[in-house]
Amino acid sequence: MNPVNPMKGNARMPEYGAIGITAGGTARPDVADPAGGEDDGSRAVIDVHHHFCAPAWREWAERQGLVNPKALPPWARWDAQTALELMDRAGIATAVLKPMLPARYESSAQLREATTVTLRAAVEVVEAHPGRFVFHTPLFLEDPQVSSWALRHGLDELGAVGVNVTANHGGVYLGDPSYDGIFAELDERSAVVDTHPHNLPGGPAGGPPGGPPGGPPGAATVPGLPNFLCDFLLDTTRAAANMIRNRTLDRFPNLSVILPHGGGFLPHIAARLEAFAHSFDPPVEPAAVRDHLHRFYYDTAGPLSPAGTLLATVSPDRLLFGSDWPACPAAVVTGVAVPALAADPAFTPALRRAVNRENALRLMPALVPA
pTM of the predicted model, to two decimals?
A: 0.87
- pLDDT, one tens digit per residue, over 100-133 is 999 889 999 999 999 999 999 999 999 999 999 9
Contact 194, 163 (CB under 8 A): yes
CATH topology of domain 35-367: TIM Barrel (3.20.20)
Residue 216: per-residue pLDDT = 53
One-character DSSP codes across 134-148? EEEEE--TT-HHHHH
Which residue ranges make up each domain of the chain? 35-367
Residue 20 has pLDDT above 80, yes or no: no
Going by DSSP bridges, is the β-strand pair 133-138/162-166 parallel, antiparallel, or unpaired? parallel
- pLDDT, one tens digit per residue, over 65-106 is 999 888 888 889 999 999 999 999 999 999 999 999 998 899
Distances (CA, A) of 251 to 147, 179, 246: 20, 12, 9
DSSP type of residue 302: T
Going by DSSP bridges, is the β-strand pair 192-196/172-173 parallel, antiparallel, or unpaired? unpaired
Separation of alpha carbons 265 and 135, rounded Å? 27
Of 368, 356, 366, 360, nearest to 34 by C-alpha is 356
DSSP type of residue 6: P
Phi first, then psi: give them for residue 67, nearest 5 degrees: -140, 155
Return the SS3 of 185. Answer: helix
Separation of alpha carbons 370 and 361, rounded Å? 13
DSSP type of residue 199: P
DSSP type of residue 35: G
> Amino acid letter at 344?
D
Rg, C-alpha atoms of the chain: 20
Report the chain's mean pLDDT, rounded to a whole number.
87
